[in-house]
Structure 1
């Protein structure tokens, strides 16, 4: 897993902004955490402008404001930023230092959802580290000893 095992995190808590501020394992991954966190807050503000009054967004901002002083400071700064990509430097506990390019892909049928992809330059140490990390996390095939009933 690049960041952490999401199966350990309740579905309602899997927003990247929440993980960046409230999950110590994620916070410690980023070499330049303050820059990453400030950018995440600015993108959250963009989402708030697109979806004013969204109760889930209001709840998230409230939770982060209560639990993290850095979030409160950046949220009060009123910065707005939209970024479609960039480069992040990580300290991944399993494979070490990574330098990854990232890109945001917007889901056209659900504008509140985005997919962020991370890639490494082919042949780079980060590329090899991702390959190793991926092989360690490859799921073994699931074998079903008995037929599964699918209904009447």
Structure 2
């Protein structure tokens, strides 16, 4: 099984990510763990949900840690409703957080499938920006040279080495 982590959070980025996954592993072999940012309009969230519904065989939805002005469960409920309206037989489920969603997605993925993890970016790894700080957008190698993309301050990464 292959795991693909991405920050796609708008319809064009989601479509591009899914095209890449389809070229690599095929359309029905993709399992997704998806969250979308709460500060987007409902119509953009609906468009994103429809693209994901068209592109994966199974989906696990979760709310980001930073709700960005939404109520808990609001974004994942909207996304699930739109996905089911687009593709009623799509297997989807909701989980409480990032770790639970990833765990469920990996369990749903069979050998030879890919697991796509879409994050909205609030998973933080440095102390300087509590709301948003992901070292190098996935390029972190857990060395003291990591930096926060928002404020550009250097910070010691807290990710365990084996997660990268």
TM-score normalised to the size of structure 2? 0.28
TM-score normalised to the size of structure 1? 0.30
Q: Which has the higher helix share?
A: 1
Higher Cα Rg, which structure: 1
